[in-house]
Amino acid sequence: MIKKTLKITGIVLVVLIAAAIAIPILFKGKITRLIKEQIKIAMGERISGDDYIPQMYSIECRINAEDPYNDFRPSPGRITTLHQPGGHGVRVDSHAYAGYIIPPYYDSMIGKLITVARTRNEAIDTMYRALSEYVIEGVKTTIPFHLQLMQDDRFRSGDFNTKFLESFKLR
């Protein structure tokens, strides 16, 4: 929890101040404007409001070796075939390769699939295309879950909240 007495000097570790910054980030010296604004929000202060109109939209899907049809249980094993998507607005961050063994004892993440586009709907459409092109054989993955999510009317409309997945049904 961030309190109003927070002083920012030298090296600062910011962890989950806002959903936009979802991993720990180490800053040395001057903190970026975005982070400063997020700290103001966390302290209950007003932000400046300058230049905060989204210019691009981005979506990230975490591709895990998990079975979405079996309560997302881990699916360890060897990746026998791997084809990662690409193209304009598509990025894959992954350590996996054909022959890689997903261990049963650690995080089952295979990679992160990220899309970016001018509108939210374009980002969703690009993500659906990229997910459709992603081929991983040998282990079960969360790709079917993400494909169905990208087609869900409530998700596409933005009319959902944190309880959304409780009512989302995989087909």
* Predicted confidence (pLDDT) per residue in 21-33, tens digit: 443 344 443 456 7
Composition of the chain by helix, strand, coil, percent to 5: 25, 25, 50
Mean pLDDT, all residues of the chain = 82
Taking the C-alpha atoms of residue 65 and residue 107, their distance in angstroms, rounded to an integer, is 9
Looking at residue 45, the DSSP 8-state letter turns out to be P
Dump pLDDT digits (tens) for 134-149: 999 999 999 999 999 9
Dump pLDDT digits (tens) for 76-96: 999 999 999 999 999 999 999
Q: At residue 55, what is the residue type?
A: Q
Confidence class for position 1, pLDDT limits 50, 70, 90: very low
Q: Tell me the whole-structure pTM to 2 decimals.
A: 0.72
User: For 26, how many CA atoms within 13 A lie in the half-sphere containing its CB?
Assistant: 1
